[in-house]
Structure 1
Amino acid sequence: MAGYRGSAPVRWGNDAARQSQHDVYGEVLDCAFQWAATGGVIDAGLWDRLTTLVEAARTAWARPDHGIWEVRSSPRPFTYSAAMCQVALDRAARLSRRLGLPGDPEGWDEDARAITRHILDNAWDPAQRTLIEHMAPGGGLDASLLALPLRRVLPADHPKMVATCRAVAERLDAGGGLLYRYLPEESPDGVGGPEGAFILCSFWLVDNLVGQGRVGEAVELFDRLCTYPNELGLLPEQLAPGDGTFLGNFPQGLSHVGLISSAVLIARTAHGLIPELSTHAWFP
């Protein structure tokens, strides 16, 4: 365990209540998909509410929002937000078919595939050789793109995903296995001040390395990240590069979710199971 690290003061409140975040559609439908996969019941009333969200995702994906990081600058057509709308449509189609629920599974499928194509065509920057933060020219690099394989939007070993993973690891490197989620000078967030390293992004990198078959590198990075929790095994939202001071919300649930998910993925791979993030195990 690492020694004690203090936690820097955090900003009270944010503007999320007045913002649009289109990734929520995919979050909710993915939860419903996993709920049903483990025996949870989706009754008619719940399905009616879920399909309302799915239909909203059909148009929301192309509109600017404030994104996963809740930027205070002008809304942008964030790639991650569009990807999560794809998740909403994909999961709805699967649920409809598997459970015999009413809806438009063929249309949802078609729209989900169209969003994926749009991301590959319009969020790809050929000059930078990476997917970028939003589906418009001139965008910066964003570590949230590492979550696309985790959400089954693109396989971790897709050529454009491999290139994006490499770019994030190199250009958002904060040292010590840590990553910045973005660079404010390239991706204005309207908040101001220095940016700490967002530890969840490093666990996303671990998962991508596993999905690419680079398990040894993934384990090495994971072991390094496991030196950051304090004496109680708790992690913050961010760490200060260099001295490891805890920054932001503490303890941060998302950081621990990332740690647990990476640990499970590595353990499954060690037992000979095909990484679920690669094309070889893409769910049907």
Structure 2
Amino acid sequence: MDSTVRAAILDCAFQWAATGGRLGGNLWNRLTVLAEEARRAWNTPDRGIWEVRTAGRPFTYSAAMCQVALDRAARLARRLDMPGDADSWATEAERLTEHILREAWDEDAGALTEHLGPGGGLDASLLALPLRRVVPADHPRMVATSGAVATRLGAGGGLLHRYLPEQSPDGLAQPEGAFVLCSFWMVDNLAGQGRTDEAAELFDTLCSYASPLGLLAEEIDPATGEFLGNFPQALSHVGLVSSAVVLGRVQRGVRPELSTRACFS
């Protein structure tokens, strides 16, 4: 099981518990196994969220998803008074956040990069770190990263590339379009940084790309506006809905849960 799946399962369980749900002993035992796997797997080379066809690397996003798994396991154990190593999981999650901020940071690039250690390229998947409550949106290194992504991965018209294949080889022959979900992640980051007007403007721009039926593709050709990849793409619509919720909360005066204070509450 990869790090993204572990994180998703534990995060879903955490959200279930946060709304009053309970977990049986058998299910909890399985969840603790996932937490322990995350503790061991955070620096294991893999193919990352984009499932590249090149040699595995210790991707920053994958390490971050291990942080999510450990953090949610600790919170679940405490919230539901379940047996387990909650203090150790919480400590490991905090350590992983610090490790990511240190080891994925490239001073020359002025940004967090795609994998732990030197030599990584920019990767728009790191815009998801505040959404997963790994690094706050308003943390200085996250602000710098979102700015670098906007500048260097920007494809025009509010669109973003996931990465630049010439800097981050993916083993794929076809050209890369702009990945729609990444731009919605940028909306959420801008909102989390208090840049609400910019976030709302970007959101409106992205919605304007939808088909007459309100559907979005996986990617968009930034030169022509043509839809590329899967259509309709569920992830693009998940991003749209998530950003709409974030903006709606901000407009009602509710601070988004992407900031320093809320991220670690």
CA shift for structure 1 position 22: 2.1
Aligned to 1:5: none
Partner of 2:218: 237
Query: Among 8, 17, 28, which residue is 1:47 paired with?
Result: 28
Q: Taking structure 2 as the reference length, what is the TM-score of the superposition?
A: 0.98
Taking only the aligned residue pairs, the percentage that are identical comes to 66
Quote the Cα distance in structure 1 between the aligned partners of 2:193 and 2:241.
19
> Are the structure 2 counterparts of residues 203 and 30 from structure 1 closer, same or farther at C-alpha, using a change threshold of 3 Å?
same
Report the alpha carbon displacement of residue 39 of structure 1 after superposing the two structures with TM: 2.6
Quote the Cα distance in structure 1 between the aligned partners of 2:132 and 2:249: 18
Question: 2:155–2:161: 8 Å Cα contact kept in structure 1?
Answer: yes
- The alpha carbon displacement at 1:177 in A equals 0.5
Residue 283 of structure 1: CA displacement?
4.6
CA contact (8 A) 2:130 2:263 kept: no
Query: What amino acid is aligned across from residue 119 of structure 2 in structure 1?
Result: G
Q: What is the Cα-based RMSD across aligned positions, in Å?
A: 1.0
The question of 1:255 aligning with 2:236 is answered yes
- Determine the C-alpha separation between the residues in 2 that align with 1:254 and 1:37: 24
Offset at 1:113? 1.0
Map residues 1-284 of structure 1 onto 2, 5 A cutoff.
21-284=2-265
Runs of 4+ in 1 over 4 A off after TM superposition: none
Q: Verify the 8 A CA contact 1:22 1:65 in the aligned structure 2.
A: no
Matched residue count: 265
Ranked by relative contact order (alpha carbons within 8 Å, sequence separation 6 or more), the top structure is 1
| Unaligned stretches of 5+ residues in structure 1 | 1-19
Unaligned runs of 5+ in 2: none
1:145-200, CA deviations, whole angstroms, 9 ceiling, x for partnerless residues?
Answer: 00000000011000000000000000000111000000000001111221010000
